[in-house]
Chain A
Amino acid sequence: MMKPHRRKRLGIILFIAAGLSVAIGLTLFALSQNIDLFFTPTQVAQGEVNPGDRVRIGGMVREGSVESAQDSLQVRFATTDYVHDVDVYYEGILPDLFREGQGVVVEGSIDPNGVFQASRVLAKHDENYMSPEVKAALDAAGASADNHPMQPES
């Protein structure tokens, strides 16, 4: 029961909206290479990061890799996507959520020895929330809820 001129007006609006969305969508697609916050260790291994370039690398802190100095804030660890590792050196205060098996984003550059000299370490939180009791019960059952959000999709 829509009047013809109204239907026409609605059509024009839809056309404009569709046109603009296509334009914006294409722009975003073109930009999408640069919107990612960080490189993965696999991308580093494939040579996508030049030594000396200031970049961010995201991965998990490899279990058993954290070595902290006794008398200073220096820390070494490996960040991994469970395919490749990147060794990281950092001196400074770590966020509260930093621990082994946790997702992190490190900011800095790769030195000539292939070690990532981080000037900033950020902790990435995954999408799981639970109490320590639930976590303990899951660990006891062997079905750890730890998932690895930065693992490359297979």
Chain B
Amino acid sequence: MWTWFHRLGSPKWFYEISGRWLPWLTAAMLLFLAVGVVWALLFVPQDYQQGLTNRIMYVHVPVASISLAFFPMMAVAGTVSLVWKMKLADMVVKVAAPLGAWFTALALASGSIWGIDTWGTWWVWDGRLTSLLLQFFLLIGMISLRSALEDGDAAAKACALFSIVGSINVVVIKYSVDWWNTLHQPATNFTADPSQPNGPEIWVPLLLMVIAVYLFFIISVILSTRNEILYRERRAQWVEELVSQS
């Protein structure tokens, strides 16, 4: 168990194994994305109230729900980096912050555009919208913290702690719609019964899009982590060999 754990922490091992996974992950993502987008845009029936604006859900929901995965992921990686001093874990914490900011920004933007006609406003300071905006600023703060601290070790520690504390906000975002009254809807409960609201004709394409965006999230974390590995391990024998072959 522990040898496996230590091997996982080896940047070289991660670089090699992720290089082998990338083509498969990309192919699977493109497949889910293509089917999901075509299904969502062309085949999903219009909503009885919202009409065809319901197409926005198929972008907004996957991106928004996966944007909530960043802080917990950084908190786990940050804990590993604090306790075991694993270099790879800190690299993941570092590359996740800007990616998380992208995801959060798109979740906010797509939600705003959806709200213009359905709610009658693109912004309201309710619990859900405000806490997600807070997540965006927390991520920007984390990126600046990293760049402000020149000492890599101190930056790793500070960002690890920051992500552990910041994870509390994810709980707030998730339950904001239940704890307080908001303009944002509470979570939808999907059902397998096609004669009921939120049936398969609504959620099957949504599931495809969630899988596609999840794969995209994994791919983009891997791509950035590999760059970080190349940079931080640039003096290692195996990177020098790789560079001279390129």
Contact = CB atoms under 8 A, between A and B. Distances in A.
Tell me, yes or no, whether A and B come into direct contact in the complex with CB atoms closer than 8 A. yes
A131 B47 contact: yes
Interface stretch (B138-146, B164-172, B223-231): B164-172
Contact residue range for chain B?
Answer: 35 or more
Contact of B45 (A21, A36, A97, A133): A133
Nearest to A129: B202
A16 B167 CA distance: 13
A129 B82 contact: no
B185 A20 contact: no
A41 to B, nearest CB: 12
Contact of B185 (A6, A125, A135): A125
Interface stretch (A46-54, A71-79, A116-124): A116-124
Nearest to B131: A35
Contacts of A45: none
Main secondary structure of the interface of B (DSSP, over half): loop
B197 A130 contact: yes
A94 B198 contact: no
A135 B119 contact: no
Contact of B182 (A20, A37, A133): A37
Interface string A131-150: 11111011000000100011
Interface in A94-110: 94-99, 102, 105
Interface residues of A, number: 49
Contact of A13 (B82, B118, B121, B189): B82
Contact of A129 (B117, B127, B181, B197): B197
Interface string A38-80: 1010000000000000000010000000000000000000000
B135 interface: no
Interface of B: 2, 45-51, 54, 57, 79, 82-84, 117-121, 124-127, 161, 164-165, 168, 172, 179-183, 185-189, 194-199, 201-202
